[in-house]
Amino acid sequence: MTARRNPIDYVVRYLKERSHYRDFYFGVILLLFCLTTIFWLIPAQVSIGYLAHGTVVGPSFFPYAMCLTLLFLSILLIHISPETSQYITRAEDKVVSRIVIVLIIILFATYSIIPLTGMVPAGILAMFVLMQIFGFPKWYLSLGFSLVFVILLFLFLEKLAQVRIPRGILFDGLY
Amino acid sequence: MGGIVDIVVTAFQFVANYIAEYLKNGQQGIALFFTFKNLLAVFGGVGIGIFGGAIPGITITMSVALVMPFTFYMVPLTALSLLLGVYVGAIYGGSISAILLNTPGTPAAACTAMDGFSLARQGKAGKALELANWSSCVGDLVSTSIVILVCPLLGNLALYFGSPEYFALIVFAITVTGGVAGQSMVKGLIAGGLGFLVATVGMDPFVGTGRFDFGNLELTKGFSFVPLLIGLFAIPEVMLQLNRSRSMKGRARITSAPVTDRSHDRLTWQEFKGCFRHMVRGGIIGLVLGCIPGLGATPSAFVSYERAKRASKHPEKFGEGSLEGLAAAEAGNNAVNGATLVPLLTLGIPGDVITAVMLGAFMIFDLQPGPLLFMQHIDLIFGLFCALIMCDVALRLVGMGFIRYARRVATSVPTSMIFPAIVVLCIFGSYAINNSVFDVLTMLAFGMLGYVMATFEIASVPFLIAFVLAPMLERGLRRSLALSGGDPLIFFQRPIAIGFFVLTVIAIISLSRGVGRKMR
């Protein structure tokens, strides 16, 4: 007589098998996101309930419908992850490389210095640093190119398209 | 007998009225389009598109997305002409790097690379580029001419569309765009679902209360389309290119053999004549496949190539530098330009990512593509038709100039120069739309999302299409239910709505069969 398998063991083994596949992680993240949205975000952020008088279908109908659909799809993705993604090997298991993280930091740093320096200096700095990261050979040429490109863009937007580009606290009134 | 005569007379009257109406509208469209600004927009757009398409790594979508913020200060026809020009130019531009570097600038140009690169290695790069240019023009002109003749007929459906019909239409549109879901249908559906969810952020269109705004005034307006588009398509590409540039050393080189005899590198009249039938066939194939939402330029190029191979007297030369193969691939590839506009203009369905972008551009100008556009803005539609024809003229003129003077520049621009410039364009472009720094943050946030999606091989196209269509779907459903007092049977009492639901069921069946075949 064979011993009955414990359901918890079965679930643990099921999840362990799938944890070697990249899509499993996306499925889990999506599942958690859907649960958070259904049980916290929608009740907290969508003020009128499922049915609103006069409109029959209320503002929360679509968010709930979409979250429930995504919840189902995330479970499906976890289940089929061995078919949709490759087995993760040690060399591949880095989803984001170091250089991409540096790029992300530069992008957000540029965004955060805009109120201080304005868009033109922030743009020149970002472009110069990015050209160095991308491996442009001569630093003075990359600085010159960044200056010319951003100033031309600034002139186009300000003079032709009539868009006022933010000057920032430091350079307000200078140009 | 009398009955038949009546039918013939009625049909004759219908055709006569249609032609009279057509000529009148055509005159309005010509008057609206032929201004210096519109012509400049078309020629400039084609030039930008060719340059962008020729640089490996810059996709058609990225080219259109980067130009889009600069169109906001133009009148709708000028802006749409510019975007059309970029679209047409970028599809052709993809063939330049395919021929010279064996690196298709766009996925649709992959077929062109097979014969084009072989010709370049034989020292016939000039001939290949010239033939690609002619084929693009002829293929696109064939399909555009048919589109222009037939498209307004479909516009007459406008009179019969109410909220339930719109809802059914959008349901159908969402189903057929399942074809752009990518490798996995589940991942495509997830991308679409996320797009829908993101579209609900902001003010509710009926009740006027906020959804997911976290008390932030900027979020009550919802996410702007253009920063989202730029973030989703440009930033992830820069990140992926950065990864690639770290793993590659040196710059891509043009590998064409030196031209020893200039006369061998020019396209002759005999060669053009021999390829002409393949160009026309490619144009018709592109028209048919381009009208089907979700297919796009890549399958069209391959089907056209395959048909040309079967019809050719020298099929053995295909893949080894066949002029016929190159002509068929390029014609099929470019012929979808006008054709993809058919479902967009007549039904408001974006067939691919570019038409989804175009739909967004229409909506920014408060224009709703679909049946009503033909009733309210027929002059604009005919103006766009003029722009499409002029795009072909510009493609020939600008294309030839580009081949002669700028091809080597475009294909040797270092990525270390082009991608940082794109990042700066993204930042300034996102800001310029609403003069809002918050839009820059939106662009960066969706850039991160796009990168995560690309890493997990989830297509961004369903996300974008769902984001564009979601407000229409929600409005159609809620308005219809409000009209019927909550009775869902309203959707099954109208013949057009029933027709679209039947088509939806057929689309679901054919898509599931496709998925089943893939899994087997």
A70 falls within a domain: yes
Convert B3-42 to b/e letters by CB count within 10 Å (16 or more is b): eeeeeeeeeeeeeeeeeeeeeebbebbeebbeeeebbebb
Nearest to B71 by CA among B92, B53, B34, B45: B45
pLDDT in tens, A127-147: 999 999 888 888 899 999 999
The per-residue pLDDT for B348 is: 78
**Prediction ipTM score:** 0.88
Q: How many CB atoms lie within 10 A of CB B401?
A: 12
Q: Quick check: A123 and B242 CB within 8 A?
A: no
Residue B108 or B303, more confident: B303
Q: Which tokens sit at B406?
A: 């700028």
Q: Quick check: B186 and A146 CB within 8 A?
A: no
Nearest CB partner across the interface for B207, out of A55, A84, A123: A55
Q: Which tokens sit at A140?
A: 């003075």
B-chain residues near A100 (CB < 8 A) = 239, 242-243, 451
Nearest to B226 by CA among B457, B62, B471: B62
Is A80 in the same domain as A13? Answer: yes
* Plot region of A89 (φ>0 → left; ψ -120 to 50 → alpha; else → beta): beta
A-chain residues near B415 (CB < 8 A) = 134
Q: How many CB atoms lie within 10 A of CB A9?
A: 9
Is A48 in the same domain as A77? Answer: yes
For B265-278, the DSSP string reads GS--HHHHHHHHHH
Of A54, A84, A114, at which residue does a domain stop?
A: A84
How close is the nearest chain B Cα to the Cα of A4, in Å?
Answer: 34
Is A77 in the same domain as A137? Answer: no
pLDDT in tens, B16-40: 887 888 888 888 889 889 999 999 9
B-chain residues near A81 (CB < 8 A) = none
| Token pair 């503002």 in the structure block, residue | A59
Q: Quick check: A46 and B474 CB within 8 A?
A: no
Q: What are phi and psi of A96, to 5 degrees?
A: -120, 125
Q: How many CB atoms lie within 10 A of CB B273?
A: 9
* DSSP designation for B257: P
Nearest to B264 by CA among B100, B114, B119: B119
Is A16 in the same domain as A63? Answer: yes
Across the range B242-262, mean pLDDT stands at 56
* DSSP designation for B404: I
A80 falls within a domain: yes
Residue B518 or B509, more confident: B509
Give the C-alpha separation, B485 to B112, whole Å: 56
Nearest to B152 by CA among B335, B389, B387, B373: B373
Of A61, A84, A107, at which residue does a domain stop?
A: A84
Give the C-alpha separation, B506 to B520, whole Å: 21
CB < 8 Å from A in window 192-231 of B: 193-194, 196-197, 200, 204, 206-207, 209-214
Is A13 in the same domain as A78? Answer: yes
In chain B, the residue whose alpha carbon lies closest to the alpha carbon of A26 is B456
Is A107 in the same domain as A149? Answer: yes
**B21 in contact with A, Cβ within 8 Å:** no
The per-residue pLDDT for B254 is: 46
Is A102 in the same domain as A80? Answer: no
Do B90 and B50 form a contact (C-beta atoms < 8 A)? yes
**A136 in contact with B, Cβ within 8 Å:** yes
How close is the nearest chain B Cα to the Cα of A161, in Å?
Answer: 6
The per-residue pLDDT for A110 is: 93
Name the domain count of chain A. 2
Nearest CB partner across the interface for B437, out of A57, A161, A166: A166
How close is the nearest chain A Cα to the Cα of B503, in Å?
Answer: 22
pLDDT in tens, B38-75: 999 999 999 998 888 877 667 778 888 888 888 878 88
Give the C-alpha separation, B229 to B25, whole Å: 33
CB < 8 Å from B in window 44-83 of A: 45-48, 52, 54-60, 62-63, 66-67, 69-70, 73-74, 76-77, 80, 83
Do B497 and B164 form a contact (C-beta atoms < 8 A)? yes
Q: Which tokens sit at B332?
A: 């099929």
What's the mean per-residue pLDDT of chain B? Answer: 82
Segments forming the whole domain that contains residue A46: 7-84
A20 falls within a domain: yes
**A110 in contact with B, Cβ within 8 Å:** yes
Give the C-alpha separation, B507 to B497, whole Å: 15
Per-residue confidence band for B297, with pLDDT thresholds at 50, 70 and 90: confident
Nearest CB partner across the interface for B211, out of A63, A85, A107: A63
The per-residue pLDDT for B258 is: 54
Give the C-alpha separation, B35 to B81, whole Å: 12
pLDDT in tens, B408-450: 666 667 778 888 988 998 899 888 878 889 999 999 999 999 9
Distance set, CA B517 to CA B179, B232, B510, B513, B514 (Å): 14, 30, 11, 6, 5
Specify which of A18-27, A38-47, B169-178 reaches the highest per-range mean pLDDT.
A38-47
Across the range B272-298, mean pLDDT stands at 82
How close is the nearest chain B Cα to the Cα of A104, in Å?
Answer: 8
**B384 in contact with A, Cβ within 8 Å:** no
Convert A42-75 to b/e letters by CB count within 10 Å (16 or more is b): beebbebeeebeebbbbbbbbbbbbbebbbebbe
Q: Which tokens sit at B275?
A: 């390829």
Is A67 in the same domain as A116? Answer: no
Do A123 and A110 form a contact (C-beta atoms < 8 A)? yes
**B424 in contact with A, Cβ within 8 Å:** yes
**pLDDT higher than threshold 50 for residue A1:** no
Mutate one of A35, A40, A62 to test the B interface: name it (highest B CB count within 10 A).
Answer: A62
The per-residue pLDDT for A142 is: 92
In chain A, the residue whose alpha carbon lies closest to the alpha carbon of B442 is A111
**A19 in contact with B, Cβ within 8 Å:** no
Nearest CB partner across the interface for B424, out of A58, A74, A126: A126
A93 falls within a domain: no
Give the C-alpha separation, A124 to A145, whole Å: 9
Q: What are phi and psi of B208, to 5 degrees?
A: 85, 10
Tell me the longest C-alpha to C-alpha distance in chain A: 88
**pLDDT higher than threshold 80 for residue A102:** yes
pTM, whole model, 2 decimals?
0.79
Mutate one of B70, B163, B248, B428 to test the A interface: name it (highest A CB count within 10 A).
Answer: B428
pLDDT in tens, B378-402: 888 899 989 989 998 998 888 888 8
**B6 in contact with A, Cβ within 8 Å:** no
Is A167 in the same domain as A102? Answer: yes
| Token pair 């061998």 in the structure block, residue | B264
A89 falls within a domain: no
> What's the number of CA atoms in the CB half-sphere (13 Å) around residue A101?
5
Is A112 in the same domain as A64? Answer: no
Mutate one of B427, B451, B452 to test the A interface: name it (highest A CB count within 10 A).
Answer: B427
In chain B, the residue whose alpha carbon lies closest to the alpha carbon of A156 is B70
* DSSP designation for B184: -
**pLDDT higher than threshold 80 for residue A63:** yes
Return the percentage of chain B with pLDDT > 90, whole number.
Answer: 11
Is A80 in the same domain as A26? Answer: yes
B-chain residues near A52 (CB < 8 A) = 206-207
Across the range B94-98, mean pLDDT stands at 80
Is A21 in the same domain as A79? Answer: yes
A166 falls within a domain: yes
Do B168 and B359 form a contact (C-beta atoms < 8 A)? no
Q: Quick check: B242 and A99 CB within 8 A?
A: yes
B-chain residues near A108 (CB < 8 A) = 444
A90 falls within a domain: no
Task: Tell me the CA end-to-end span of chain A in Å, nearest whole number.
Answer: 87
Of A29, A59, A84, at which residue does a domain stop?
A: A84
Q: Quick check: A165 and B431 CB within 8 A?
A: yes
Nearest CB partner across the interface for A99, out of B73, B212, B243: B243
